[in-house]
A and B are shown apart, each in its own frame.
Chain A
């Protein structure tokens, strides 16, 4: 992206401080509605969450609100289920993101070449991303992974796997399969963008310089893709950490909490257990953890989209 010189042609020396201030406000006005709206709808709730986390409050007993300071947090950190679901969250996020990225890179490499029906294949590969998450979870839970009537078990029968109950044996894994299926197209598209943004003459130059295709990929393409891969991993992680729909539909977090992640566990505490204070405290902890990851994410996003990469 190129930096666009502001087209306002008022000569600088003719602007008085008042005029400059007015110009500043004229420029700012278009963005205020969106900004104010977002602040009210997203920031206020978080502040309230912070406040609630310091209170003990059960929605079942109205009027039971009272300040308890950090007691909720103490409970949270001593709650073994919290740590289990935290671990589940990490496993689910890291596993889904990495596997989806690896498959996505492979698919992007294929789609980067010309072949008959390339457009159709791309359409087919994008579809999983379009499917409604609850619908996807539903389909995977029943028609795909059902022990008796699911088609996955049918296809695996020649390999000796017959009556395998995916959802009870591998609850986390089953949810991950659904999520990997839905997120691979996203990774694929980002990597594809990276591949297609590489100038072709650089690849030709490497060819005339004696490099075989594998060397070209290793020495030139991969470094170029690094930015896109990082972006995909970070953006994907942000969405996947917050995954809720698939768990709700597929396993309800079970058996027990073996397939619950933090968002689902917090939901259970708040809406099924009505323990607002503790749920809020957990929410705050998750926010802090996310902020740490997000700081890296934001730095990356800015690097990629501020156009610091220039071809020679």
Chain B
């Protein structure tokens, strides 16, 4: 199994490794989300704009997240995330997800190791590749 991402130019002209997914909102609709593929993130965290667009009630999580900016409170919600395998088949991830509680704290949702631990995460700038590979898949640049 392989889920392809891409290197994309961001607002500051820096090219970052990304993966596209879609998350189910509070009304059963789907919202497209661009994730930063972040091997340093312990868990997947949604940015405030995405969380507000999803329409879930702002239920504070007992788990804050910690980063360079210090400790940040989060909201928590249960939902379904889908990503598209390279052959077009959607892969479904069911979990309780977190979102930061302020727009300036995280401008881009991050795909963390709660999900990437299911795969081998490839972030290859010289080879212009970002992908998630399931066990047994071999990566060749």
Do chains A and B stick together as partners? no
